Structure 1
Amino acid sequence: MKKFAAKPSTPYLQVGDFVIARTLLTLPLVGTLLVLALATRDPLAWWVTGVGGLVVLSNIPVALWTRASPKGRGVWPAVVADALFVLLIVQVTGGPGSAVAVLLLWPALAASMLLGPGPTYAVALAEVALFAGLAYLAQRGVAVADLPASLGVSVANGWAAVAVIALGLMVIAYAAGLLAGSLVTANARLKESLAVERARVAVQQEINRRFLVLEETGAILSRLQDLETILPQALGKL
């Protein structure tokens, strides 16, 4: 019978897969920010790049924390950090109209796979509220940075926007594939456990049947012994 390796996991997905997907998402973003910082020499670009570097490096404590406590507790800070990081990039790439906003789907999707329904709703509502807040501030005339615009690039339209949306879709597709694989694995484990339990029940039923046969046989033998004792006495009185 197939044995499943024990790995740090949450009820929905192995955290190792989450770390891989998170790395695939953050590394291209940080690389792009680094290119912007080198090209523009803008202190804001360097600051945002530094924040992105910290987000990438946070995968190490997330993996270690979750390995020490395999209940997905280390996922919570990572999901919150990802949401805030994406919102920060949205703010410095043109505001709510930036195509980077599509990446806000990632924290909610990660929460749905790793933390369950309740936290997913909480993360999604928090993202909606914060994004609406950014839109409100932009409408009120609060300054919004647009780092790519200094290089003549716009992430609101054009090929840069297409690249950002493609990155988001690929990460979401990867995460959805992990979720599907997790469900298949869970179903396989459930079927295996069900087969084992059915086999145990069948064995127990067979044991119970044999005990019942032995009990009935013992009762019959006991009656026969009683007859062997009583019958000669009765015949002797005739």
Structure 2
Amino acid sequence: MARMAHPDPAAPRLAALAALLADETRATFCLALLDGRAWTAGELARHASVAPSTASEHLGRLVAGGLLAEERQGRHRYLRLAGERVAHLVEDLAAHASPGPAPARPRSLGAATADRALARGRTCYDHLAGRLGITIADAMTARGLLRQDTGFALTDDGLRWFDGLGIGLDPGSRRPLARSCLDWTERRAHLAGAAGAALCRYALEAGWCVRIGSGRAVRATAEGERALREHLGIDPESIR
């Protein structure tokens, strides 16, 4: 009996994509790589608590499926998310999969502390997320630097604000200047796109924020709290 053609040619591709993430180890790898940095296969294996051979098999599937990109330097194999679109996909899926008002109890005190740190502030690929990212987006909107009514867009005042801080933006870039990204802990949108990436990079380089450990969590420094109050009117208590 001849096999009938599928009514929607995108369905097999969607099913294949879903299958890639339908494994806890592969999902753990993708979430870890949301910090925007390249990890070695060994680092990812240790992070997911799996054997190197198991990690290699899963990473191969993610690379073949187009979710990860790899680069070899000497004997090391570095993996990163394949691009911003993949990062947004993973973050959006995490937002939909996150628990409701009564989340499961963390497995340990260490897990609870890590969860709180991620919720307070983190990088989402190359921009700021968590309560820190949401607070910045809200402050920019309140000051007329960012519009959220018809999708995210920088205003003329917003462009001047970036320029005044010395944060370069490339208006000719093919990447959207500003776009919203659904935050999986806050359930609201934070600032992504070229502007979000430039602001995150500036915040880290200027010492406004520092990474906590080797993961995605970040926190505002004392200098950053002063700067965010001065430039955006943010109360330091709201981001602690």
TM-score (norm 2): 0.24
TM-score (norm 1): 0.24
Whose helix proportion is higher, 1 or 2?
1
Identify which of structures 1 and 2 has the higher relative contact order when contacts are C-alpha pairs closer than 8 Å and 6+ apart: 1
